[in-house]
Structure 1
Amino acid sequence: MSWPTLQLQEMTETERSITYGVVKPGPEDEENGILFVRGGDIKEGKINTLDLRTITQDTSKPYARTILRGGEILISLVGNPGEAAIVPMELAGANIARQAGLVALRPEYNSKFIMYF
């Protein structure tokens, strides 16, 4: 049996290509804000959810393609470069910083397998 050879972008959701998130996060909004994952929050295969900051909904809106749904792969571009983690469902609705790369695979691909590959 032979495995197909694909480029990563061939496995991603059509409407959400491989990308990074919010460039200028602006002020925090602790009351009504959107959770915000930065590159330094990704370490040892996990996302540290204890110290996430928030951004305003207005800041998040232009970056709708990087709003997390759960199950995506996040790769740290700054802070802990190269570290990767699968987004837990509890972070659905959060957004990401420019320091994190988003890889949203189509359902037929296993995010955990691809992350380790």
Structure 2
Amino acid sequence: MTTRDGARHSPDSGGGIGGGGPPVDHKPKIHGFASQSIEHSGDKWKRPLNRNGTGSTHVRTFQGKLTAQGLEFLDRHINEWLEAHPEAEVKFSTTQIGEVATATGKEQVVVVQIWV
């Protein structure tokens, strides 16, 4: 669209005839989990961890894609978490495999729970 001053605007750009509103901020609305700062509750635990090999007192859940790269990422993420929490003694772990709906269909995922 061409305005009276000769500037060219797309119909949805907000400029031009009748489009004298404030400029539109075009930040992406979809973000991956890695791009968000996620605060985990493990940093605020009030109950002490059992370090004597008896019962678990907390659980930490990890989720990743069921692909070679996804499993590699999951391994790295779990190991980094364990390194950052040396006071955590792993009692046992569980895994689940399933599908989650995505914008492009379904995706295979693996969920790992580490009981400490």
Normalised to the residue count of structure 2, the TM-score between the two structures is: 0.23
Greater RCO, CA 8 A, separation 6+: 1
If you compute each CA radius of gyration, which structure gives the higher value, 1 or 2? 2
Normalised to the residue count of structure 1, the TM-score between the two structures is: 0.23
